[in-house]
Amino acid sequence: MSISYLWSRSLLMNRYFLWLLFVCNLLGTVYGYIWYAQQMVYTMDHNPFWQVIFVPDSPTASLFFTIAVLFLLYPPKSLLGIGFRHLVEALAVVTSVKYGIWAVSIIFASVAQGSEMVWQDWMLVASHTAMAVEALIYVRFFKFGGSVIIAAAAWTFLNDTVDYTYGIFPWLPQQLNDDVSSIQFFTFGLTLFSALITWLALKQAKRY
């Protein structure tokens, strides 16, 4: 078997493989919401209820990708369904790349400042790296166009704005609590970077 088979259409769009990908991402999404449960409860107790939707960043990105995989298995037929699919796909790629990189960066930044690297951290590094990689791999199978990336970036910038305006950004390791301003700039910059990478990946995919 050629190594190129690992990223070939025949493997990546095989329905059994897509179902495996769907289940893995669904389980990861559920785990992610459980991971954020305490912060979500805290937010609902201390902030307006509407803000809770902006708390679980990575699980929501994973949810977008999970739904995007489901659309590969069962493409919508209606105009409304097709439009929704395009938006979800763009959100899946932009947010998966953004939060995949963000989480890994935060983990290693905290380690650099003295945090101990435990097995959960390695698990999160692996899973969040996979988020970013799988999103970029599947760009060529998604149907959204470049203009929808603007909407996905706008949502992600809104999420960033709410996070750092109301202090509901993901709870940080203790070592990084004095670096919130730097993390805020990094987060906004990463949204722009992720949108750009998504556009470049889409442009490259259209060539094949």
Asked if residue 60 has pLDDT above 90, the reply is yes
**E-assigned strand segments in 9-110:** none
Asked if residue 192 has pLDDT above 70, the reply is yes
Question: What is the structure's pLDDT at 204?
Answer: 87
Name the amino acid, one letter, at 153. Answer: A
For 188, which DSSP code? H
Question: What is the structure's pLDDT at 50?
Answer: 97
Mean pLDDT, to the nearest integer, of 103-111?
96
CA distance 42 to 52: 9
Per-chain mean pLDDT for the chain? 94
Domains in the chain, number: 1
For 47, which DSSP code? S
Q: Give the three-class secondary structure for 130.
A: helix
Structure tokens that stand for 152 in this block:
């996905």
- Provide the b/e sequence for 124-152 (b: ≥16 CB within 10 Å): bbebbebbbebbbebbbebebeeebbeeb
Check: CB of residue 95 under 8 Å from CB of residue 156: yes
Residue-level length of the chain: 208
Question: What is the structure's pLDDT at 8?
Answer: 79
CA distance 55 to 144: 26
pLDDT tens digits for 68-99? 999 999 999 999 999 999 999 999 999 999 99
Domain ranges, residue 195: 3-205
Confidence at 2, pLDDT banded by 50, 70, 90: low
Structure tokens that stand for 22 in this block:
């769907």
